[in-house]
């Protein structure tokens, strides 16, 4: 229909302050840069998508600055004049213009789904096949701080009633010291909370095989991406050596990666991120490969703002299997609320919002306040 034709594509970068610094193995941040992509139609409907990476280009090679350039110069022109319901053909044409750049493509793809669903008056999850659940549990992510500081933060979160599991970042310290730190945390939280760890692809195979059994013995529930993303064979060796599951993140970006990992027996859990895979449809395809292979999924995070979090939530609720819950805690880490009506977190997890599209509305005043000049 003519009113579904795209007549404008706009990008805005915002820098959203965090409640506390968040540190990874290789980077840290006090604010999260986010790229918003607005797709407007002739019928007056606007869809919004989000491009975001965890802490900068160290993770996937993209940043909000590169995403903005790619969208404005290369992807936006492909969209103009097209219908928001032409998503498969648009994605095909985008792939002919730009290789890789999956985070930038995610922002566009999610905006298209949001606009299309708003035109139809349905939630985005309907376009993904419908909701299998209406909420997902949320794990709280902790940084690379000393054990006492991590335990203190975890206990506060436990008291809030919003979280019963925690994921700790590793890989910044000497491996032996890092393991000692994690074991201390696990001992303090034993019997009251689940503890998982993320090594952010920092260790080699020998280091992982030497130190990870100690973490398993200490009661750690799951190990995320101990080895570099390309080392699928090494991931399989580590997975075979441990009594607890290894989760693939940096090794898993595309449905083809999902098939490769499943075939190799290299992961017991898939970390599915809408952002890193190129959008909702690719994430759904990864989840379907996982379901066929009997591999559970985890709705992972790139520290999205509420827009990207809502997109990932729709995908997780439509997914065939997410028994490990989610890490969609990004909005709770941010010091400012970016929506007119906040997403709902409670003891049952993060709840799927009502309303058409993503079901969320950005607060224009907040976008203006944190827009990068």
Please list the active-site residues. Answer: 169, 327
CB burial string 155-186: b at 16+ within 10 A, e below: eebbeeebbbbbbbbbbbeebeebbebbbbbb
**Strand 194-198 relative to strand 165-169: parallel, antiparallel, unpaired?**
parallel
Can you read off the two tokens belonging to residue 21?
Answer: 């610094």
Strands 349-351 and 345-346, by their bridges, are antiparallel
To 10 degrees, the CA torsion angle through 164, 141, 270, 114?
A: 100
Which residues lie closer than 8 Å to 69 by C-beta, 6 or more apart?
none
Side-chain-facing half-sphere of 109: CA atoms under 13 Å: 28
Segment holding 285, helix H or strand E:
helix 280-293
């Amino acid at each position: 229909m003519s009113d579904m034709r795209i007549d404008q594509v706009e990008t805005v970068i915002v820098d959203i302050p965090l409640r506390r610094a968040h540190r990874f193995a290789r980077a840290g941040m006090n604010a999260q840069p986010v790229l918003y992509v607005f797709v407007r139609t002739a019928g007056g409907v606007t869809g919004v998508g989000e491009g975001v990476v965890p802490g900068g280009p160290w993770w996937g090679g993209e940043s909000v600055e590169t995403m903005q350039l790619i969208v404005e110069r290369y992807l936006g022109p492909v969209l103009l004049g097209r219908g928001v319901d032409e998503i498969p053909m648009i994605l095909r044409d985008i792939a002919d213009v730009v290789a890789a750049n999956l985070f930038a493509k995610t922002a566009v793809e999610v905006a298209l789904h949001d606009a299309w669903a708003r035109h139809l008056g349905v939630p985005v999850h309907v376009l993904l096949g419908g909701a299998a659940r209406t909420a997902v549990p949320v794990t709280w992510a902790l940084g690379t701080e000393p054990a006492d500081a991590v335990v203190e933060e975890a206990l506060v979160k436990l008291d809030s009633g919003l979280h019963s599991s925690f994921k700790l970042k590793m890989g910044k310290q000497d491996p032996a010291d890092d393991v000692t730190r994690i074991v201390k945390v696990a001992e303090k939280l034993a019997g009251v909370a689940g503890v998982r760890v993320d090594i952010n692809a920092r260790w080699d195979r020998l280091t992982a095989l030497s130190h990870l059994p100690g973490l398993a013995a200490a009661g750690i529930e799951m190990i995320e991406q101990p080895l570099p993303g390309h080392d699928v064979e090494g991931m399989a060796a580590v997975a075979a050596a441990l009594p607890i599951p290894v989760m693939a993140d940096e090794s898993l970006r595309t449905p083809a990666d999902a098939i490769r990992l499943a075939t190799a027996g290299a992961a017991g859990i898939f970390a599915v991120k809408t952002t890193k895979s190129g959008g909702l449809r690719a994430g759904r395809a990864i989840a379907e490969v996982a379901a066929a292979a009997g591999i559970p999924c985890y709705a992972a995070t790139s520290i999205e703002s509420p827009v990207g979090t809502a997109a990932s939530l729709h995908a997780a609720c439509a997914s065939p299997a997410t028994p490990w819950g989610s890490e969609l805690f990004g909005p709770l880490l941010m010091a400012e609320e970016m929506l007119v009506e906040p997403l709902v977190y409670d003891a049952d997890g993060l709840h799927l919002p009502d309303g058409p599209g993503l079901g969320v509305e950005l607060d224009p005043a907040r976008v203006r306040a944190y827009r990068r000049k």
